[in-house]
């Protein structure tokens, strides 16, 4: 039996029918979620914003991104270091996301102006950081906090024994709505019954809470297929204002993390704010079979992204609803 459990984390789940599960609304107190959100918003970010997956930023290619209405271009120099600059060419405004990248420099397609990470008058790059899974930019004029030399990062499992995948989705809301959704763990089995079963919030932070205790602890089974699932204990916490981290602390995959980052894109032409949800899943397991899973990483990544996207389709509906309700409320 012990040997079976070592190789096979799946359990046959005994779950009530969806309408018969225990309601969680009485525990999911809006004031508790709100207080956790306010504490997260008060933490230092160093003015760093997640732009996307490190793997998306291939050498020799520029990418266009936006944060809070600022158009950005991202590229790697010949050493592989990331750089982020204004997205419009300082000559006549050509889109630099379409620039060629030659020998680590941007080469504007309109008239051949060459730009590098040192910048030039009228075109100043911002600090950029590649943490191995995600690319970040520091925008002091947007963040409004004291700057930090590097983003506030989460402890991840070692890269050599994990598989990571990054999913990005855009919502019509602000980062606070995305973070508030993640700080409501009580919705798991009710709102995502296709992914979660038997969710129980073991502990939640109080209205006043020291940083060290500021986390939600949840027991839940991840559904793998039909009645089969993997039971785990997970913690949710916010290392900085726009990030919620779920860490598996017990059960299969202990040490794995799911980092949800919310990056403000600014309002669209309709005046409604947009936010990019960039979610990095870094899966890890000590099980012998995980070595095989690592070898299959290229095939696994699309599946991991698809699972995250399915959850976020629903979670963005929740976040967008929260945004609509709070912004349309008569004052
Ligand atoms: S617009 Fe870029 S070189 Fe002219
Ligand atoms: Fe959710």
- For residue 226, what pLDDT is reported? 74
Is any atom of ligand 1 closer than 6 Å to the C-beta of 14? no
Q: What is the C-alpha separation between 310 and 173, in angstroms, rounded? A: 18
Ligand 1 proximity of 111 Cβ (cutoff 6 Å): yes
CA atoms within 13 A on the CB side of 307: 16
Decide which of 3.30.530.20, 3.40.47.10, 3.40.50.300, 3.30.420.10 is the CATH code for 10-43+154-327.
3.30.530.20
* SS3 assignment, position 157: coil
Which pLDDT score, from 0 to 100, does residue 170 have? Answer: 98
Quick one: pLDDT at residue 6? 53
User: Given the DSSP bridges, would you call strands 216-225 and 63-67 parallel, antiparallel or unpaired?
Assistant: unpaired
10-43+154-327 against 48-143: fold identical: no
Residue 184 Cα, ligand 2 centroid: separation in angstroms? 8
Please give the C-alpha separations between residue 19 and each of 15, 22, 191, 298, in angstroms, as whole numbers: 11, 8, 11, 38
Pick from 62, 85, 92, 96 the residue to mutate for probing ligand 1's pocket: most ligand atoms within 8 Å of its CB. Answer: 92
Q: Check if 329 has its Cβ closer than 6 Å to any atom of ligand 1.
A: no
Of 238, 245, 276, 277, which Cα lies nearest the Cα of 259? 245
What are the tokens at 54?
A: 């490190």
The pLDDT value recorded for residue 12 is: 78
Closest residue CA from atom 3 of ligand 1: 111
CA distances from 186 to 25, 215, 310 (A): 7, 13, 18
Q: Which residues surround ligand 2, an ion (CB under 5 A)?
A: 315
| Alpha carbons within 13 A on the beta-carbon side of 281 | 19
Q: Which of 173, 171, 197, 187 is nearest to 236 (CA)?
A: 187
Residue 7 is predicted with a pLDDT of: 53
Close Cβ partners of 278 (under 8 Å, ≥ 6 residues apart): 50, 51, 52, 53, 134, 166, 167, 168, 260, 261, 262, 263
Return the pLDDT at 304. Answer: 84
Contact criterion met (CB below 8 Å) for 40 and 238: yes
pLDDT tens for the 331 residues of the chain, in order: 344 455 566 677 788 899 999 999 999 999 999 999 999 999 999 999 999 999 999 999 999 999 999 999 999 999 999 999 999 999 999 999 999 999 999 999 999 999 999 999 999 999 999 999 999 999 999 999 999 999 999 999 998 889 999 999 999 999 999 999 999 999 999 999 999 999 999 999 999 999 989 999 999 998 877 778 889 999 999 999 999 999 999 988 899 999 999 999 999 999 999 999 999 999 988 777 677 677 777 877 888 888 888 899 999 999 999 999 999 976 5
Ligand 1 pocket residue status of 100, Cβ below 6 Å:
no
Q: Of 3.40.50.720, 2.102.10.10, 3.20.20.370, 3.30.930.10, which CATH number belongs to 48-143?
A: 2.102.10.10
Domain ranges of the chain: 10-43+154-327, 48-143
pLDDT for 1 equals 38
278 within 8 A of 50, measured Cβ to Cβ: yes
Residue among 109, 111, 114 whose CB has most ligand 1 atoms within 8 A, to mutate? 111
Q: Judge whether 275 and 322 are in contact, CB under 8 Å.
A: no
Can you give the pLDDT at residue 294? 75
- Identify the helix (H) or strand (E) that includes residue 299: helix 297-328
The β-bridge partners of 130 are: 135
């Amino acid at each position: 039996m012990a040997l079976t459990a070592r190789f096979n984390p799946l359990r046959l789940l005994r779950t009530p029918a969806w309408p018969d599960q225990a309601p969680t609304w009485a525990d999911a107190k809006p004031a508790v979620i709100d207080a956790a959100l306010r504490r997260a918003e008060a933490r230092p970010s160093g003015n760093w914003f997640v732009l996307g997956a490190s793997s998306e930023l291939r050498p020799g290619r520029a990418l266009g991104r936006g944060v809070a209405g600022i158009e950005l271009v991202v590229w790697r120099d010949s050493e592989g270091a990331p750089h982020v600059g204004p997205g419009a060419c300082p000559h006549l405004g050509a889109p630099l996301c379409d620039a060629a990248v030659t020998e680590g420099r941007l080469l504007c397609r309109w008239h051949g102006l060459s730009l590098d990470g040192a910048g030039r008058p009228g075109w100043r790059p911002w600090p950029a950081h590649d943490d191995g899974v995600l690319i970040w930019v520091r925008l002091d004029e947007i963040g409004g906090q004291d700057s930090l030399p590097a983003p506030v990062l989460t402890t991840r499992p070692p890269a050599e024994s994990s598989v990571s995948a990054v999913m990005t989705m855009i919502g019509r809301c602000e980062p606070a709505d995305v973070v508030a959704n993640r700080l409501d763990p009580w919705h798991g089995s009710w709102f995502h019954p296709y992914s979660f079963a038997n969710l129980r919030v073991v502990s939640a932070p109080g209205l006043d809470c020291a940083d060290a205790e500021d986390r939600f602890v949840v027991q839940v089974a991840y559904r793998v297929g039909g009645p089969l699932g993997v039971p785990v204990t997970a913690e949710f916490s916010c290392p900085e204002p726009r990030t919620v981290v779920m860490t598996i602390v017990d059960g299969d995959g202990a040490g794995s993390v799911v980092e949800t980052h919310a990056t403000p894109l600014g309002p669209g032409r309709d005046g409604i704010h947009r936010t990019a949800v960039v979610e990095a899943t870094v899966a890890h397991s000590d099980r012998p079979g995980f070595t095989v899973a690592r070898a299959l990483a290229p095939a696994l990544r699309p599946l991991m992204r698809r699972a995250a996207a399915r959850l976020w389709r629903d979670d963005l509906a929740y976040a967008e609803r929260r945004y609509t309700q709070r912004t349309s409320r008569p004052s």
